Amino acid sequence: MDASHVEQDLVNVLFTEAQIRERLAEMAAQIEEDYEGHDLVIVGILRGAVMVMADLARAFGRHVEMDWMAVSSYGSGTKSSGVVRILKDLDSDISGRHVLVVDEIIDTGLTLSWLTANLSSRNPASVEIATLLRKPEALQMPVDVKYVGWDIPNEFVVGYGLDYRERYRNLRDIATLAPHVYS
């Protein structure tokens, strides 16, 4: 979906599809360099990270194994509740393996902090985080993020996998959602 189809719902476009893909390619190159000589399992956080995970994986010039988890801490609201539930766990054993958690956005840090602790308890060789977006002003829990696409203001954003009540995920750009939509 193009931003012009929902422009009345958006305040402004922060990043275009082209900018996002370019940044993900840069991140993939850095990740490949950092994990040279090591097998890597990239773990996408459903559902929001689907677009980021797909484009990041396609940007790699090497094999990567992909797995998925689904966790919930939002319900239907716009802010994290801080209570994390695993809705879908990994299909593969990560013991002794290098794991890169891929998410579309980090705002409070509560979910990712909990998730990295959970994954670390499974005896992987390493657990790191890659995210397309991070909201430093919204952080409530320190999270060590190795790869960040962009830091953004503490505004409600949609598109490229980010949703509001399951809408706008298929927006090709990332944009600030107008308050009249969620107020």
Tens of pLDDT, residues 11-41: 999 999 999 999 999 999 999 999 999 999 9
Q: What is the pLDDT of residues 38-55, one digit of tens each?
A: 999 999 999 899 999 999
With the C-alpha atoms ordered 72, 70, 109, 94, is the resulting torsion angle positive or negative? positive
Q: What are phi and psi of 50, to 5 degrees?
A: -55, -50
Predicted confidence (pLDDT) at residue 81 exceeds the cutoff of 60: no
Helix (H, G, I), strand (E, B) or coil at 64: coil
Q: What is the pLDDT of residue 111?
A: 87
State the average pLDDT for the chain. Answer: 93
Strands 85-88 and 65-72, sheet pairing: antiparallel
Query: Domains, the chain, ranges and CATH?
Result: 7-182 (3.40.50.2020)
Taking only the tens place, the pLDDT of each residue in 61-71 is 999 999 999 98
**Is the pLDDT confidence value at 78 over 60?**
no
The DSSP H or E segment spanning 104 is strand 98-106
Active-site annotation holds for 163: no
**What are 119-146's pLDDT values in tens digits?**
999 999 999 999 999 999 988 888 999 9
Q: What per-residue confidence (pLDDT) applies to 100?
A: 98
- Higher-confidence position of 77 and 10: 10
Q: Which pLDDT band, with edges at 50, 70 and 90, does 85 fall under?
A: confident
3-state secondary structure (DSSP) of residue 181 = helix
User: Could you tell me if 82 and 100 are in contact, meaning their C-beta atoms sit under 8 angstroms apart?
Assistant: no
> pLDDT confidence of 102, banded at 50, 70, 90?
very high
Tell me what pLDDT residue 82 has: 61
What is the reported pTM?
Answer: 0.91
Alpha helical stretches, state H, 99-159: 110-120
| Confidence check: pLDDT of 162 > 90 | yes
Query: CA 146 to CA 56: how far, in whole Å?
Result: 15
Of 9, 55, 103, 107, catalytic = 107
- What is each CA distance from 46 to 19, 163, 166, in whole angstroms? 22, 12, 12
Res 75: pLDDT: 54
pLDDT of 77 reads 53
